[in-house]
């Protein structure tokens, strides 16, 4: 019997390999069509598992690169070296899914609060935002590659912008504001702290 592949909707846990390849292809190459095809509500399990697979693959590759003396591997994150590397690598593979799950939910929560602020009452609910965050994690698959990983981090912002626009039925400008607002707030906080420090310094001089 031929393998069944998906042509729209969430990651299909009943056909994990074919569905994973299909979702990766669609979210990277046709993000607007992909996010439009997603349900706005429903189980979080499929999107979460997809995100964790992407994160775990990146962690495995990064960890393996550590063993061939490529810097930036997973063992370095745990301060391990030498004969501690393998145990740290295994420990990291266990910790990464837990940390990834917490990270996805927290990111989705913060993002949805911003959606409520910027998009308003016309939003499609937390389920839509959770899917945007989960499927944007596809860029983790190449996040371990120097420079290219940085480019894909920017592409992740693009995916999130498209996802918010399509799933919450808003404008590109509002969607982009939701994505960039955390960075803007951090920048403003830094400027305030620098300005306050400067005032204190000159008054004390």
Q: Model confidence over 94-137: pLDDT tens digits?
A: 899 999 999 999 999 999 999 999 999 889 999 999 999 999 99
* Average pLDDT over every residue of 126-152: 91
DSSP secondary structure letter of residue 80? -
Per-residue confidence (pLDDT) for residue 4, from 0 to 100: 43
* Average pLDDT over every residue of 21-40: 96
- Helices 45-67 and 85-118: crossing angle, nearest 10°? 140
* Average pLDDT over every residue of 154-173: 96
- Angstrom CA distances, 153 to 33, 106, 134, 139, 140, stand at 21, 18, 14, 7, 8
When pLDDT is cut at 50, 70 and 90, the band that residue 7 belongs to is low
Measured on CA atoms in the order 74, 80, 83, 86, is the torsion positive or negative? Answer: negative
pLDDT tens-digit profile of 46-90? 999 999 999 999 888 887 777 666 555 444 444 444 445 667 677
Percent of the chain with pLDDT over 70: 83
pTM of the shown model: 0.81
Per-residue confidence (pLDDT) for residue 28, from 0 to 100: 95
Joined tokens for residue 203: 């008054």
Percent of the chain with pLDDT over 90: 57
């Amino acid at each position: 019997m031929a393998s069944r592949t998906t042509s729209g909707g969430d990651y299909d846990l009943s056909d994990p390999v074919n569905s994973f390849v299909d979702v990766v292809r669609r979210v990277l190459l046709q993000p607007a069509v992909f996010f439009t095809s997603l349900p706005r509500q429903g189980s979080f399990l499929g999107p979460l598992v997809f995100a964790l697979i992407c994160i775990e693959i990146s962690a495995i590759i990064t960890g393996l690169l550590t063993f061939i003396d490529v810097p930036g591997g997973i063992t370095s994150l745990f301060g391990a070296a030498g004969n501690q590397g393998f145990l740290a690598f295994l420990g990291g593979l266990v910790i990464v899914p837990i940390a990834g799950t917490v990270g996805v939910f927290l990111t989705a929560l913060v993002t949805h609060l911003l959606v409520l602020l910027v998009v308003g009452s016309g939003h499609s609910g937390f389920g839509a935002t959770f899917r945007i965050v989960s499927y944007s994690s596809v860029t983790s698959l190449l996040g371990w590659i120097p420079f290219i990983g940085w480019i894909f981090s920017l592409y992740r912002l693009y995916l999130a912008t498209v996802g918010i626009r399509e799933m919450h039925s808003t404008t590109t400008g509002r969607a982009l504001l939701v994505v960039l607002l955390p960075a803007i707030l951090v920048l403003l906080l830094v400027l305030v702290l620098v300005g306050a420090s400067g005032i204190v310094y000159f008054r004390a001089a």
